Amino acid sequence: MTTAVDRIAIKAKERPGDRIFSTATVVAGSLILAVLAAVALFLFVQSIPAFVAPADAFKGDFTNFWSYVAPLAFGTVWSAFLALLMAVPVAIAVALFISHYAPRKLAQGLGYLIDLLAAVPSVVFGLWGIGVLAPLVQPFYASLVDWFGWFPLFAGPVSGTGRTILTVAIVLAVMVLPIITAICREIFLQTPVLYEEASLALGATRWEMITMAVLPFGRAGIISAAMLGLGRALGETMAVAMVLSPNPQVIFQLLTSQNSNTIAANIALNFPEAHGVGVNILLATGLVLFVITLIVNMIARVIINRRKAFSGAN
């Protein structure tokens, strides 16, 4: 009997196209893993000399690699965190405006405009940061320090040029805004119309409908959008290198001339003249950035998976 079943088991005829296509996807899928593994391996192998480098190989008063990389890692996370703090609420508001408030024609135009913002190269954002934004916000920073200097984050002395980590965070926020907005908009548009109509029929205002139906449904999506934005903010190099006035310490103050540098900007600043073990040290900081990004993405995955149950997605 079993042999008979085997014989009549339906097997679709494989055309050459099927085989080529499936092979192509398998190759593409494994290629991305191979590239990732190659980058990780390269970073790790090149980093080994940095981990055992003597104290005098480091610039400044550092005793070992970990004391060197700690302020940089802090600066990277701190600037990206500040950027997200500003970008996420604005991005959600813009996305909601496009998906639920704006007239259809305006919404479309606005969507295109925001996508356009994502196409601006980061070096242009950097030039804008030093040429326009920093001089513009400097007087504002000065009065902020005068009035709110008692608040630890706003402690002085104020930077005379405005090239502080807050300016960097604003530039980064503008850069990640289009990514977060575009994803949020798509998520909000996918809210089941039935939910929205149901809550409206129950007498909810538009605002209540959004808080009850749209936002809970899109929560996982908002988080993944924010994480994608965070990835860009963590890795941003050029704009930070151009705008930030760096200092090799852990510094929380937002408005002074001394700011913790980010890993990527530090590599960009020091690589051109680095030689010998200096190159290994910079690559090792790159490995740390790689690990930070991986951890952030893993945390995001965990949050999304946990929240899925409460959203309307299933």
Instruction: Answer for the pair 185, 98: CB distance below 8 angstroms, yes or no.
Output: yes
Binds another protein (CB under 8 A): choice among 76, 79, 122, 138: 138
Nearer to another protein, 137 or 220 (CB): 137
In whole angstroms, give the CA distance from residue 249 to residue 60.
10
Closest distance between another protein and the C-beta of residue 247, in Å?
6
| Residue 246, beta-bridge partner list | 259
Closest distance between another protein and the C-beta of residue 130, in Å?
5
Q: Does 269 bind another protein (CB under 8 A)?
A: yes
Q: Does 273 bind another protein (CB under 8 A)?
A: yes
Binds another protein (CB under 8 A): choice among 82, 83, 87, 134: 134
Site for another protein in 32-91 (CB under 8 A): 59-60
Nearer to another protein, 11 or 275 (CB): 275
Q: Does 249 bind another protein (CB under 8 A)?
A: yes
Binding-site size for another protein (CB under 8 A) equals 32
Q: Does 172 bind another protein (CB under 8 A)?
A: no
Judged by CB under 8 A, the stretch of 2-10, 146-154, 192-200, 272-280 that binds another protein is 272-280
Q: Does 285 bind another protein (CB under 8 A)?
A: no
Closest distance between another protein and the C-beta of residue 161, in Å?
3
Judged by CB under 8 A, the stretch of 115-123, 168-176, 246-254, 284-292 that binds another protein is 246-254
Instruction: Answer for the pair 233, 83: CB distance below 8 angstroms, yes or no.
Output: yes
Q: Does 162 bind another protein (CB under 8 A)?
A: yes
Closest distance between another protein and the C-beta of residue 151, in Å?
19
Site for another protein in 205-244 (CB under 8 A): 241-242, 244
Give contact residues for another protein (rule: CB under 8 A): 59-60, 130-131, 134-135, 138, 157-163, 241-242, 244-249, 257-258, 261, 269-270, 272-276
